[in-house]
Amino acid sequence: MKQAAISCLVFVLCAVGSVAGGQAPDEKAAIRQAALDYIEGWYEADAARMDRALHKDMVKRIVFAAGGTEKVTTLTKAQMVEATEKGGGKDRPAETRNIKVDILDAYRDIANVRTECADYIDYLQLVKSEGPWRIVNVLWQYHVKERVAVAVDPKLLSAYSGEYELKPDVIVTVSVEKDQLSLQVTGQPRLQAYPSSETEFFLKEAEVQITFVKDATGKVTQLTIPQGGSNVPARKIR
């Protein structure tokens, strides 16, 4: 009888230890849902879902290496919720978003998750905070396809220099230095652009293709830049 009681106790303790150290299926479902609230909330411009997914002290980071320097750009929860409320990624058609969520690791009250979609790769760190699972850290990059630069006549590049108005308060500045085209959007780091044709250029840091548009006389009048799944024109103003 005594041996049976000891065996029963060992079984119970092992079972409790297994639950404490791992994650029950319902916990993994909750982790996955938090990640979906984050990425689907962005594309659906659903600020309530984004707010629910993020810890109050969440920090989202991206590392840019451009022009020989490295820069870390950060976003807070308040900034992410505000950006989502203003429209987020809703302009991208739902059938092209290609959202995937993979739980990489989970232990007790912490977890690592990778989300992939048409525009971004995100590595999320989550914590079970005051009941729900919430994202406390995000490290992300643009989802970039490999492209190959082609050679173009450097004399063509000077025609693209100037300022292009994307919005009244958002200017794309295009410059040429040492036969290399670069662009800078208001408030963002300057990035090099590489030619895929005489009028089309791409960034290595992001899935972005810039196309310069000319009029009938050959004068450059605007460029187009992808935004939310569509190409947005920016008129040359200077």
Exposed, middle or buried: residue 201 (CB in 10 Å: 0-12, 13-18, 19+)? buried
The secondary element (H helix, E strand) that includes residue 87 is: none
Residues of the chain with pLDDT > 70: what percent?
A: 87
Select, from the ranges 40-44, 167-171, 198-202, 232-236, the one with the highest average predicted confidence (pLDDT).
40-44
Domains in the chain (CATH in brackets) are 12-142 (3.10.450.50), 154-236 (2.40.128.50)
Q: Which residues pair with 171 in a beta bridge?
A: 165
Lowest mean pLDDT segment, chosen from 104-118, 126-140, 158-172, 201-215: 201-215
Which pLDDT belongs to residue 222?
94
What whole-number percentage of the chain has pLDDT above 90? Answer: 49
Order of strands across the sheet with 120-128? 69-76, 54-66, 133-142, 120-128, 110-116, 100-107
| 117: nearest Cα among 93, 136, 137, 133 | 93
Backbone angles phi, psi at 234, to 5 degrees: -130, 115
Q: Enter the pTM of the model.
A: 0.62
Distance CA 223, CA 65 (A): 24
Identify the three-state secondary structure at position 154.
helix
Question: Minimal CA–CA distance to 127: which of 108, 140, 103, 144?
Answer: 108
* CB-CB neighbours of 207 under 10 Å: 15
Asked whether the predicted pLDDT for residue 165 surpasses 90, the reply is yes
Report the amino acid identity of residue 22: G
For the cut 90, the answer to whether the pLDDT of residue 110 exceeds it is yes
pLDDT at 55: 97
Higher pLDDT residue, 147 or 155? 155
Segment (H or E) for 98 = none
What is the average pLDDT value for the chain, to the nearest integer?
Answer: 85
The predicted structure's pLDDT at residue 109: 95
Answer yes or no: is pLDDT of 168 > 80.
Answer: yes
Alpha-carbon distance of 179 to 156, in angstroms, equals 10
- The predicted pLDDT at position 155 comes to 85
What separation in angstroms does the CA of 199 have from each of 51, 64, 190, 213? 41, 25, 20, 7
| pLDDT tens digits along 44-90 | 999 999 999 999 999 999 987 655 678 888 999 999 999 999 888 88
Confidence class for position 23, pLDDT limits 50, 70, 90? low
